[in-house]
Amino acid sequence: MPPEKIEIFKSMEDWAKKNVLVHLKPVENCWQPQDFLPDAASDGFEEQVRELRERAREIPDDYFVALVGSMITEEALPTYQVMLNNLDGLRDETGSSLTPWAIWTRAWTAEENRHGDLLNKYLYLSGRVDMKRIEKTIQYLIGTGMDPRAENSPYLLFIYTSFQERATSISHGNTGRLAKAHGDTKLAQICGIIASDEKRHEAAYTKIMEKLFEIDPDGAVLALADMMRKRITMPAHLMYDGCDVNIFFHYSAVVQRLGIYTAKDYSDVLEFLVGRWKVEKMTGLSAEGRRAQDYVCRLIPKLRRLEERAGERAEEALTIPFSWISDRLVKL
């Protein structure tokens, strides 16, 4: 990133202290995975586990594929912290740096760390999944990393994280609603509490971008158009379970069919962000900036049309085995 852009983030430090760090929750006020899990130190542990497993028995396999996929995505957290620490002008230079950007990145990671932890323990106790093959998928995924194509630019990555936090909040929210529909209100609560964290993170990242749209409208709108041209890929897009080379594609198909995260959600997130940052109303842009603005605004109706056509095309779905649930068959 050019030095003058790095300077922008330096000049935003006081603002970030007051406006971004407020979206973190003090540890003492945070929920912990243990709040939602049977307590292994209590006498009622076995009984609580038995109840958890009885509830889980009523939930179909395809739901577990979706839940496992989102747990694996959360468990690849080391990759996401690396992404944030690669950002020019923002990286945590010492590992315990006191710039607001570094404080945010570490505390965000610490908050996110509870998500994978909680889902992992729940899935283990449920007895419905093949933990070893899930753990293998996590190891492969962290070893492979990700490529959001943000090129170390905070502009690009904050577009990406704004999009992703909202997308994960939607998908955890829908996963919770489905759990409730299957009669598991405790699991619904687990998904809901995670979704509410993602929402808070979305508020922080969209606020940073809002500020960039104000300070550097051309830079911000060019970044938005750039990321949308590349398409926002899910963070776990490089996942592999050791046997299915298309596991990510297959998992995404299940998630789409169950209505947990769909093509419509993708367009909805974009439409929301464009509204949130008032992209349509931006004035005083350079010619290049206007082209980017135009591209992003036209993209929304274009994506809507694609969605409709995809809906019409819906073919007879394949049924394939998923290693995560001991090779039981699930419709895509």
| Shortest distance, position 178 Cβ to Fe ion, whole Å | 18
Judge whether 35 counts as a catalytic residue: no
Q: Pick the catalytic residue: 137, 168, 175, 206?
A: 168
Taking the C-alpha atoms of residue 244 and residue 249, their distance in angstroms, rounded to an integer, is: 10
Q: Pick the catalytic residue: 62, 74, 184, 218?
A: 74
| Shortest distance, position 316 Cβ to Fe ion, whole Å | 34
| Shortest distance, position 209 Cβ to Fe ion, whole Å | 15
| Shortest distance, position 234 Cβ to Fe ion, whole Å | 12
Residue 126 sits at φ, ψ, to 5 deg, of -65, -30
Q: Are 101 and 149 in contact (CB under 8 A)?
A: no
* 238 secondary structure, DSSP code: T
Q: Are 125 and 187 in contact (CB under 8 A)?
A: no
Q: Are 123 and 131 in contact (CB under 8 A)?
A: yes
Judge whether 111 counts as a catalytic residue: no
Tokens describing residue 61: 């396999």
Q: Site mask, Fe ion, residues 70-109, x = CB under 5 A?
A: ----x-----------------------------------
Burial of 34 (0-12, 13-18, 19+ CB in 10 A): middle
Judge whether 109 counts as a catalytic residue: no
Residue nearest to Fe ion (CB): 115
Interaction between residue 114 and Fe ion (CB under 5 A)? no
Cβ closest to Fe ion, residue 104 vs residue 225:
104
Q: Looking at 1-9, 30-38, 164-172, 204-212, which segment touches Fe ion (CB under 5 A)? A: 164-172
Interaction between residue 172 and Fe ion (CB under 5 A)? no
Interaction between residue 244 and Fe ion (CB under 5 A)? no
Kindly state the helix (H) or strand (E) to which residue 296 belongs, with its residue range: helix 287-313
Judge whether 112 counts as a catalytic residue: yes
Interaction between residue 112 and Fe ion (CB under 5 A)? yes
Taking the C-alpha atoms of residue 242 and residue 158, their distance in angstroms, rounded to an integer, is: 32
Judge whether 201 counts as a catalytic residue: yes
Judge whether 14 counts as a catalytic residue: no
| Size of the chain in residues | 332
Q: Site mask, Fe ion, residues 20-59, x = CB under 5 A?
A: ----------------------------------------
Q: Which of 114, 115, 128, 133 binds Fe ion (CB under 5 A)?
A: 115
150-180 CB burial, b ≥16 within 10 A, e <16: beebbbbbbbbbbbbbbbbbbbbbbbbbbbb
Taking the C-alpha atoms of residue 318 and residue 254, their distance in angstroms, rounded to an integer, is: 11
Q: Pick the catalytic residue: 23, 172, 201, 250?
A: 201
Residues 6+ apart with CB under 8 A from 263: 256, 303, 306, 307, 310
Number of residues that bind Fe ion (CB under 5 A): 6
Judge whether 197 counts as a catalytic residue: yes
Residues from 57 through 76 that contact Fe ion (CB under 5 A): 74
| Shortest distance, position 73 Cβ to Fe ion, whole Å | 8
Q: Pick the catalytic residue: 75, 112, 226, 241?
A: 112
Residue 320 sits at φ, ψ, to 5 deg, of -135, 160
Interaction between residue 198 and Fe ion (CB under 5 A)? yes
| Shortest distance, position 290 Cβ to Fe ion, whole Å | 33
Q: Pick the catalytic residue: 31, 130, 182, 307?
A: 31
Q: From 48, 161, 47, 69, select the one nearest 119 (Cα to Cα).
A: 69
Catalytic center residues: 31, 74, 112, 115, 165, 168, 197-198, 201
Q: Which residues bind Fe ion (CB under 5 A)?
A: 74, 112, 115, 165, 198, 201
